[in-house]
Homo-oligomer: A and B are copies of this chain.
Amino acid sequence: MAGKATKHLSTQPSVIASAAIGGKKEGEGPLGSIFDKINDDPYLSTQTYERGESRLQKQAVLHCLEKAGLQAGDIDVLFGGDLLNQCVGTTYGVRCFEMPFLGIYGACSTMSEGLLLASLFVDRGVTQNAMAVTSSHFCTAERQYRFPLGYGGQRPPTSQWTVTAGGALIVAQHAQPPYARACTIGKIVDMGVSDANNMGAAMAPAAYSTIKEFFDDTGMKPSDFDRIVTGDLGKVGSRLLCELMQQGGLDISHNHSDCGMMMYSFDTQDVHAGASGCGCAGSVLCGHFIPRLQSGEIKNILFAATGALMSPTVNQQGESIPSISHLVWLSNETTV
């Protein structure tokens, strides 16, 4: 039998710095003030949207390094990935830094996966300074996953708006909150949802699987946490997750926060079921939750971003949407 999927981080390493970069719409939303930089130009002064997305990651890495007082050469390993085919948002965005690099793919769960791997690498002494980065961009994602932007396709009510944003963070041994206390490696869950415009419903069971596993493995309970944070379940997926948790005997209805519900104003920004994309959970963690854990405004969160592991090709072939969620417990307090 395999061991538990939840790994305790016995040294409780710190997230020593984080940075969030946004686009125009993100700057206009209720979280506008969390971003280190807002880019009004969707091309970010490049010739293509893809180069623009790469620049989001480059900016996130640079701001994060500056806040940590580190140089690119101080980073022992960088975990990065994004939604674009072959993860080119990342590879072209970070190639200039010449950091040891391990590419990851977790769709919108990428920041969870990167934070989990960075925390494990530092906790187990593989590396000193481990970085994680991700991004998404409305214009690159729309044309890759759905339709050309100029087509003006009708969006169903369950659809979500891909966030134009990047996030980066650095994990290291340091006496500074937040501390990474434990993490849970997710399993692929596929409940048969095949509607690519209803990612929330496809991903909610993956979030349930991982969060439930964390509580089963640790014996902790939802009320031990100020916030149980998912990445981009949106309205539909968030409701489903709370129902699934309730059925599983865990009430998270009072302390569940979904980054996809926080990013935009439902009243004024016309985003249907909410926000989505690697950059959604990535920037909300790096710009909102980590600073609040640093200040002590909140003490403990579970961060469990989810990812839909499909492609347009296989979806058009009639396949359902397998999903995954990885989880990290971040705390203002350390017991080490």
Where the two chains meet, the residues of A that have a C-beta atom closer than 8 Å to any C-beta of B are 1-3, 5, 7, 47-48, 50-51, 73-77, 81, 83-88, 91-92, 94-95, 98-107, 113, 116-117, 120-121, 124-129, 144, 185-188, 190, 309-314, 317, 319, 322, 324, 326
Contacts and interface: CB of A to CB of B under 8 A. Distances in A.
Given A2-B74, A5-B100, A317-B50, A107 B94 contact: no
A314 B92 contact: yes
A322 B187 contact: no
Closest 10 CB pairs of A and B: A124-B124, A91-B309, A100-B185, A86-B311, A103-B105, A105-B105, A85-B85, A95-B188, A2-B76, A95-B322
Given A1-B73, A51-B317, A105-B105, A87 B124 contact: no
A310 B101 contact: no
B322 A91 contact: yes
Contacts of A128: 2-3
A189 B173 CA distance: 29
Contacts of A84: 311, 313
Contacts of A190: 95
Given A2-B73, A2-B128, A88-B314, A100 B319 contact: no
Given A2-B75, A84-B313, A92-B322, 4 more contacts: A85-B86, A92-B319, A94-B188, A144-B313
A310 B87 contact: no
Nearest to A184: B100
Contacts of A101: 185-188, 324
Contact of A48 (B2, B73, B100, B317): B317
Nearest to A4: B76
A65 to B, nearest CB: 12
Nearest to A110: B103
Taken together, the copies of this chain in the complex come to 2
B314 A50 contact: yes
Contacts of A100: 2, 5, 185-187
A144 to B, nearest CB: 8
Given A2-B76, A51-B317, A309-B86, A103 B102 contact: no
A120 B77 CA distance: 13
A105 B87 contact: yes
16 contacts: A5-B100, A7-B126, A77-B185, A83-B86, A86-B107, A86-B309, A87-B105, A88-B310, A91-B188, A92-B314, A92-B322, A101-B188, A102-B104, A102-B106, A103-B324, A105-B105
A124 B11 CA distance: 13
Contacts of A113: 102-103
A244 to B, nearest CB: 17
A131 to B, nearest CB: 11
B2 A129 contact: yes
Residue among A47, A186, A311 with the highest chain B CB neighbour number at 10 A = A311
A319 B88 CA distance: 11
A289 to B, nearest CB: 22
A317 B105 contact: no
A101 to B, nearest CB: 5
Contacts of A51: 314, 317
